[in-house]
Copies of this chain bind each other. A is one copy, B any other.
Amino acid sequence: MYSSESLQQFARQVFLRMGCPEAEAALAAEVLVAADLRGVDSHGIARLHGYVRLADLNRVNPRPVVRTVHETPSTAVVDGDAGLGLVVAPQAMQLAIRKAQQAGTGWVAIRNSNHFGIAGYHAMLALPHDMIGLCMTNAGPLVAPTFSKDKLLGTNPIAVAVPAGTEPPFVADLATTTAAYGKLELLQRKALPAPTGWVQDADGNPDVDPHAVRKGGALLPLGGDREHGSHKGYCLGAVVDIFSGVLSGANYGPWVPPFATAGFMASAAQLVGAGTGHFVGAMRVDAFRPADDFKAQMDNWIRTFRQATPVPGAERVLIPGDPERLLEAERRKNGIPLLASVAENLRELSGRFGIDAEFLKF
């Protein structure tokens, strides 16, 4: 087990060595380790060496000048200057919050960014302002639309954070696929088959091989197949792609750069936009009704759903955000488990950058 503080300090040191300014290195480390704390291990410290590789490939700019290239009272387009999504997305979210303070809501489309960690972190930035936060991003193509053999969409997550009163906030954060890629990696390590509806093979047939994507297959949209509503998951992933990529002037569909693949070196001429795209929003609750009224009703909403009768075999009904919050409390107390391969990656980074990391020496 590793303490979140030690992982965060280590990540901060790595981002500093990559050339990030002090404040941005700290922010990037915080966003990254928020994923580990909330149980989205695939998007946390396990990706640190991937970000370093992006920098090695000159695909990420450690000292970006993030600028607003277009705006109206309630909207803006931000160019991330090829910075880390981990720092570009929170800046864009702060802009959305400022817009919402003036205009009731703020909506910012971001181009020329990179992987931003977990969507939920950025959406939750709205909560202390009594605002609803929204966040989505496109991502490298791993997902085949309904009826398609080709991979044209990313796992394209959507996060929505809603403030409550005395109850903890409602935080939904979901990939628009049946299962996130991290869930497949778990099955790969255990050598277990994937449930139906998670993947298809290279020919476009339903498959249960957890390695299917690496073998030329694809992840499937939420629903899995047409009969179970995969066209709806495809619609949702497509909306995320259009809001994040087409509205902003980033890449979209099959052109979205993969996270950190050494082989990816498309020239600008082959692309349809700049980098990866995100879309974030903030809505002031009191742009609709007094914040106290809203939060009292949200408390009632949350309690009503939490008190529902569970189905046989289930302990209780959960509110979106409950599992992540409970895990965060547990991991802040007891530490974060790391796979041996991830710890090894961190030791390599420690050696390369000459970062003293006592906590990795065991």
B104, B148, B317: the one contacting A309 at CB < 8 Å is B148
Are A77 and B235 touching (Cβ within 8 A)? no
A229 to chain B: which residues have CB within 8 Å?
Answer: 174, 177-179, 222-223
Are B242 and A298 touching (Cβ within 8 A)? yes
Bound complex: CA of A178 vs CA of B190, how far in Å?
Answer: 29
Bound complex: CA of A229 vs CA of B179, how far in Å?
Answer: 7
Are A238 and B312 touching (Cβ within 8 A)? no
> Which residues between 81 and 113 of chain A lie within 8 Å of chain B, taking CB atoms?
102-105, 107, 109
A105 to chain B: which residues have CB within 8 Å?
Answer: 72, 74-75, 105, 107
Are B317 and A145 touching (Cβ within 8 A)? yes
| Copies held by the complex | 2
Q: Can you list 15 pairs linking A and B with CB atoms under 8 Å apart?
A: A70-B287, A73-B102, A74-B287, A75-B283, A147-B318, A148-B305, A160-B239, A172-B239, A177-B229, A197-B228, A204-B310, A205-B312, A223-B228, A247-B285, A272-B300
Q: How large is the interface on A (under 10, 10 to 19, 20 to 34, 35 or more residues)?
A: 35 or more
Are B288 and A109 touching (Cβ within 8 A)? yes
Bound complex: CA of A79 vs CA of B15, how far in Å?
Answer: 51
15 further A-B contacts with Cβ under 8 Å, apart from A174-B229, A231-B320, A248-B288, are: A74-B287, A103-B103, A148-B305, A148-B309, A149-B309, A152-B304, A160-B239, A162-B242, A174-B232, A177-B229, A195-B228, A222-B229, A222-B232, A224-B228, A252-B297
Residue among A104, A109, A144 with max Cβ neighbours from chain B (10 Å): A104
> Which residues between 307 and 360 of chain A lie within 8 Å of chain B, taking CB atoms?
308-312, 314-318, 320
> Which residues between 192 and 210 of chain A lie within 8 Å of chain B, taking CB atoms?
195-197, 200, 203-205
Using CB atoms and an 8 Å cutoff, list the residues of chain A in contact with chain B: 70-75, 77, 102-105, 107, 109, 132, 144-150, 152, 160, 162, 170, 172, 174-179, 195-197, 200, 203-205, 222-224, 227-229, 231-236, 238-239, 241-242, 246-249, 252-254, 272-273, 283-285, 287-289, 293-294, 297-298, 300-301, 304-305, 308-312, 314-318, 320
